[in-house]
C-alpha cells in the first residue's frame, strides 16, 4: 500500500469545518470507502481526485447524509454527527451539485434556482395556506436571493428559459445556482466541469473561485481535469479503490509517485 502523506498548510492556523475520521462504506460486497480520513478547513477549496470508481461520489454522498457509513465518525462545525439526512445536512448549510445534472428540465432557470430555497423555507405548505402574509414575505425573500444568484452567475438572459433547452454548460451553471441559492457554508461539487468545452470550463472555474472568495464558502470539489485541480484547490485528497493514497497541496500530490502510478499516469474518462 502507498503511504498517505498528510500536509497541514504550514504557519497558518486553520479552523476545521469538516472532519472525516476512518469512514468505511460498503454496498453489499462492494467496499466503496475503506478507513478514509481527511479534513476540510473553513474557507478552503478541497479537491477530491482519483480514478473512476475510487469512491469520490460516495464520499460526497456520505458528507451530505445520503449514504450512511458503517464505520467512522464525521464532525461538522465542531459537532460529531449522529444520523444525518440530506434534508438535515442542507439545513445545516451543506449543499451540492451532482455528477449527472439534477434539474427539472421543463422548469425555467429561475424556478430551478428557487427550488434551492425550498429546504430553507421555514413554513410548511399548510401553514402557508392558513397564514398567507408571513409565507408571502418568505417567498419574496427567496425570490430576491434567487435573483441575486442569477445576477452573480450572469444568467439573466436565460432566467425564463426551460433548462432542458439550454446547452450543457449552462445547465451545469444553473445547477450551481440552485446549490448557491441555499447560501451554503459547505458546497459539494461533483465534477462541475465534466463534459464542458474549454470556454465553459474557464467560466465555471471563475465562478467557483468567486463563490469561494466573495462569500467565503468552503468547497469540496471532485474533478478529473488536473489543470483545474492545480489552479483551484488549496489541498487535494486522492482516493484509489476506496482508500486514501495521498493528501497534500496540489504540488505535493502531483509529485507523489503513488498518485502518478494510480491515477496521473493513466488515462481516464469523465
Chain residues binding ligand ATP by CB under 6 A are 27, 30, 32, 50, 52-58, 99
Q: State which of residues 57, 95, 112, 171 lies at the interface with Mg ion (CB under 5 A).
A: 57
- Residue 27 CB, nearest distance to ligand ATP (Å)? 3
Determine the distance from the C-alpha atom of residue 6 to the mean position of all C-alpha atoms in its chain, rounded to a whole number: 22
Interstrand relation of 186-190 and 71-76 (parallel, antiparallel or unpaired) = unpaired
Q: Which is nearer to ligand ATP, 27 or 266 (CB)?
A: 27
Q: Which three cell numbers stand for residue 177?
A: 445556482
Element (H, E) at 209: helix 198-215
Residue 30 binds what, of ligand ATP, Mg ion, none (CB under 5 to 8 Å, by partner type)?
ligand ATP
Q: Which three cell numbers stand for residue 85?
A: 439526512
Contact status: 61 vs Mg ion (CB under 5 A): no
- Residue 77 CB, nearest distance to Mg ion (Å)? 26
Residue 55 binds what, of ligand ATP, Mg ion, none (CB under 5 to 8 Å, by partner type)?
ligand ATP
187-246 binders of Mg ion (CB under 5 A): none
Size of the site for Mg ion (CB under 5 A): 3
- Residue 53 CB, nearest distance to ligand ATP (Å)? 4
Give the integer Cα–Cα distance in Å for 61 and 256. Answer: 27
State the residue for C-alpha cell 481535469: 225
Phi, psi dihedral angles at 50 (to 5 degrees) = 150, 165
Integer angstrom CA distances of residue 78 from 19, 39, 56, 70, 81: 9, 12, 23, 21, 9
- Residue 97 CB, nearest distance to Mg ion (Å)? 12
Determine the distance from the C-alpha atom of residue 114 to the mean position of all C-alpha atoms in its chain, rounded to a whole number: 18
70-99 binders of Mg ion (CB under 5 A): 99
Residue 58 binds what, of Mg ion, ligand ATP, none (CB under 5 to 8 Å, by partner type)?
ligand ATP
Q: Which three cell numbers stand for residue 105?
A: 428540465
Q: Which is nearer to ligand ATP, 155 or 237 (CB)?
A: 237
Q: Which is nearer to ligand ATP, 26 or 107 (CB)?
A: 26
Check if the beta carbon of residue 96 is closer than 8 Å to that of residue 179.
yes
Task: State the residues that interact with Mg ion by CB under 5 A.
Answer: 56-57, 99
Amino acid at each position: 500500500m502507498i503511504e498517505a502523506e498528510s500536509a497541514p498548510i504550514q504557519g497558518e492556523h486553520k479552523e476545521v469545518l469538516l472532519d472525516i475520521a476512518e469512514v468505511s462504506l460498503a454496498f453489499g460486497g462492494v467496499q466503496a470507502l475503506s478507513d478514509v480520513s481527511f479534513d476540510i478547513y473553513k474557507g478552503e477549496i478541497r479537491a477530491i481526485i482519483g480514478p473512476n470508481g475510487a469512491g469520490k461520489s460516495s464520499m460526497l454522498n456520505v458528507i451530505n447524509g445520503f449514504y450512511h457509513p458503517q464505520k467512522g465518525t464525521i464532525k461538522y462545525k465542531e459537532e460529531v454527527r449522529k444520523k444525518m439526512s440530506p434534508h438535515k445536512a442542507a439545513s445545516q448549510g451543506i449543499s451540492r451539485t451532482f455528477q449527472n445534472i439534477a434539474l427539472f428540465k421543463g422548469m425555467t432557470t429561475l424556478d430551478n434556482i428557487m427550488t434551492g430555497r425550498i429546504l430553507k423555507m421555514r413554513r410548511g405548505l399548510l401553514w402557508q395556506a392558513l397564514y398567507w402574509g408571513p409565507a408571502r414575505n418568505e417567498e419574496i425573500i427567496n425570490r430576491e436571493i434567487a435573483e441575486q444568484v442569477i445576477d452573480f452567475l450572469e444568467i439573466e438572459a436565460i432566467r425564463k428559459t426551460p433548462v432542458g433547452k439550454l446547452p450543457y454548460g449552462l445547465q451545469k451553471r444553473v445547477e450551481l445556482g440552485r446549490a448557491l441559492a441555499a447560501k451554503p457554508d459547505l458546497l459539494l461539487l461533483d465534477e462541475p466541469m465534466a463534459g464542458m468545452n474549454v470556454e465553459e470550463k474557464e467560466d465555471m472555474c471563475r465562478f467557483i473561485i468567486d463563490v469561494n472568495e466573495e462569500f467565503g464558502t468552503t468547497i469540496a470539489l471532485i474533478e478529473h481535469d488536473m489543470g483545474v485541480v492545480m489552479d483551484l484547490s488549496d489541498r487535494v485528497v486522492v482516493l484509489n479503490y476506496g482508500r486514501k493514497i495521498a493528501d497534500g497541496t496540489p504540488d505535493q500530490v502531483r509529485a507523489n509517485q503513488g498518485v502518478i502510478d494510480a491515477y496521473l499516469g493513466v488515462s481516464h474518462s469523465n
